[in-house]
A and B are shown apart, each in its own frame.
Chain A
Amino acid sequence: MNVADLIDLLLQHSPALIVAVPLLGAFITPLISRLNDKVRNVFVILTLGLTASLVFLLASDVFTGNIHTYIFGSQDLALPVVRILFEVDAMSAFMAIISVILSLVAVIYSWSFMKENTGLDKYYTLILLMTAGMLGMELTGDLFNFFVFLEITSISSAALVAFWTNKAKSVEAGFKYIVISTIGALFILFSIALFYGQYNALNMAMIASAMQYTFLDKIALVLLIAALAMKAGVVPMHMWLPDAYSKAPSSVTLILVGATQASLYGVFRVCFTIYGGAINLSSISIGWILVILGIITMLLGVAMAIIQTDFKRLIAFSAVAEIGYMLLGIGTGLVVMLNPEMTATGLAAMKGGIFHIMNDALDVGLLFLVAGAIYYATKETSLNKLGGLARNMKYTTVFFIIGLLAVSGMPPMNGFASKLLIYESTYQLNPILSIIAILSSIMLLAVFVKVFHSAFLGPALPKFENVKEVPKSMLIAMGTIATIIIIFGLFPEIIVNSIVEPAANALINYGDYVREVIPSFTGGV
């Protein structure tokens, strides 16, 4: 067998392997960690590296326009709808890239950040499980399978949020998170039952092709969007998010950002694929719901961020605000999709929203890593007690400036590229929306300049005299994300054309997604 055949084989089986490799690694980790801590860390990084390369291999093929389906347990593809299958289109691949990058960086970051802690074998097991869960949510083509992976993700992330069990607040945040996400997941299971009762199918494509938009379907839509938006931290269901983000270890917060975005992917998959036919019927209402949720999320996130004094809590609220931008972009896309004169605007809005998912993951992730680095160096997260750290922590300061500029949408960074697309397209829908979006960005900038001033500038405080720069692995992790941010910011056109546009098209042309499983389906644009 030569190399090309091997790559072909890997490509063919990659949807299954992307989930299987971290899952297998998760359960080998406790066995390996009995040998040696370093071996375990290397093993985890290698596992995630292998997963990442498989994701990139699959994505490189998917972005050329192919949709990959993978049917479990069967060689013949005659009866795909009764089997569990994975279906990977450009949107799934796009989200999988984000998740796997975040997990890989988080594991590299953990090497030094979590070194002092005990029980690290469980920590790494949970991180790998969570990665497998997120990737499964994004790749699966089966609604019940989606629910199972959602639960895997939320159980392991709740355990990780409460990982510092000696801190009362962490345990409390973990409990809050598991309660919220379990109730959300049960709502999802209930709506899956509603679908199964009506259409006798669990497959997303099958349900989409049989969808009748009955009253029960509307109930299911409300339950699905409410539950997934709750898990994605959309205002007014965001109350768990600041607690969970700020009390978890920073490396975990980074993956949690990925987990919330996997839930956001669920919202999009439900709106665009399962209820895809509704785009031609009454998408205006769904679109406007997303737009209004986005605007509220944005304003409330920024407003709450201004008054915070805890570093990580402040970033958590700005992460809430960033989620508003994605909803605004995608919602605008849904609203204007029907109007034939505004197709270009709709596509631009979708591109902006989708591109912003990745940018938000990187920007907010970088800021959380910086907050973690400061906590590692000073054991302090309150902004009132920090100060003058730029003298001792040069690299961290630079990374913070990059994150600050990116998150508030300043020109040389990636945040600008996606936010500009959102501003432009929402302006054509309604200028007020775009003004609110710009205003929120300016307020975000104000918030982070305040943070920069109070944490990094100012006179050197005597208690931070001996603070040293953080270890190399943490710098490497932050540096990787910062590099990606700058590259995306300098060449946004390449990224948008090569990976964002296929993802946007995949969401819009939901008919292709359905036809891959049910060839006789005629709907979709």
Chain B
Amino acid sequence: MIFNIPFIAVAALILIGLYAVIFKRNLIKMVIGITLIESGVNLFLITLGYREGSIAPIYTSSPGGIMALPVPQALTLTSIVIGVAVLALMLSLVIHIYRHYGTLDVRKIGGPEE
């Protein structure tokens, strides 16, 4: 049971993130929702590679015993790197939107064609 907690956390993170993206009106909160989904997916990857009692997969001065699977960790790192780029791009677009409309509320953004 205790080892299911990470999976429950994954589901909770992804659902909270989706909730924020769909129902929140503030652009920054939408961006936070996306990063939450991303954390959920990353946590899922990491959890997949873990076995009970395993140690970090570092060969240097290793005490022996089973190691966690390193491949999902490499995948997670890649996904984090991509997440940084996406986050930076989204926030800079939010800055531009704020400059144009003076608000971050999605209901007030848009309107008729210029």
Contacts and interface: CB of A to CB of B under 8 A. Distances in A.
B52 interface: no
B41 A162 contact: no
Interface stretch (A1-9, A21-29, A188-196, A425-433): A188-196
Interface string B77-100: 011001001100110011011001
Interface in B52-103: 71-72, 75, 78-79, 82, 85-86, 89-90, 93-94, 96-97, 100-101
Interface residues of A, number: 29
A171 B48 contact: no
Nearest to B100: A168
Contact of B48 (A165, A193, A310): A193
Main DSSP-derived SS at the B contact region = helix
Contacts of B93: 158, 162, 171, 174-175, 178
A65 interface: no
A186 B75 contact: no
Nearest to B82: A151
Nearest to B86: A182
Given A155-B86, A168-B114, A172-B109, A179 B34 contact: yes
A388 to B, nearest CB: 22
Contacts of A148: 78, 82
A186 B41 contact: yes
Contacts of A174: 93
A172 B30 contact: no
Contacts of B78: 144, 148
A247 B89 CA distance: 18
B48 to A, nearest CB: 5
Contact of B85 (A155, A193, A382): A155
A193 B27 contact: no
Nearest to A159: B89
B44 A158 contact: no
Contacts of A151: 82, 85-86
Contacts of B41: 186, 189-190, 193
Interface of B: 14, 21, 27, 30, 34, 37-38, 41, 44-45, 48, 71-72, 75, 78-79, 82, 85-86, 89-90, 93-94, 96-97, 100-101, 109-110, 113-114
Given A168-B101, A382-B113, 7 more contacts: A144-B75, A165-B96, A167-B114, A169-B113, A171-B97, A186-B38, A190-B41
Of all A-B residue pairs in the complex, the 8 with the closest CB atoms, nearest first, are A168-B100, A171-B96, A175-B93, A197-B48, A151-B82, A193-B45, A189-B41, A190-B41
